[in-house]
C-alpha cells in the first residue's frame, strides 16, 4: 500500500511541476509591462477595426 502511494505520488509530481512552471511563465509574461503595452495596442486596434 505504501509503495503504491509512493508510485502514484511520483507519477503525479512531474505534472504538478510542469503546471507550476507554466503558471510562473504566464505570470511573468502577464506582469511584463511591455507585453501589457503590446496587448493593449493590438486589442484597441482590433476594437477599432471591428467598428
Q: How many domains does the chain have?
A: 1
Are the CB atoms for 29 and 35 separated by under 8 Å? yes
Q: What is the pTM of this model?
A: 0.38
pLDDT digits (tens, 9 = 90+) for 2-39: 676 666 666 667 677 788 888 888 888 888 888 878 88
34: domain range?
3-50
pLDDT digits (tens, 9 = 90+) for 21-30: 888 888 888 8
Task: Please enumerate in sequence order all residues whose Cβ is within 8 A of that of 31, keeping only pairs 6 or more positions apart, or say none.
Answer: none
Q: Which three cell numbers stand for residue 4?
A: 503504491
Amino acid at each position: 500500500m505504501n509503495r503504491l502511494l509512493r508510485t502514484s505520488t511520483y507519477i503525479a509530481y512531474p505534472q504538478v511541476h510542469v503546471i507550476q512552471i507554466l503558471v510562473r511563465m504566464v505570470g511573468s509574461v502577464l506582469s511584463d509591462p511591455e507585453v501589457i503595452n503590446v496587448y493593449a495596442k493590438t486589442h484597441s486596434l482590433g476594437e477599432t477595426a471591428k467598428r
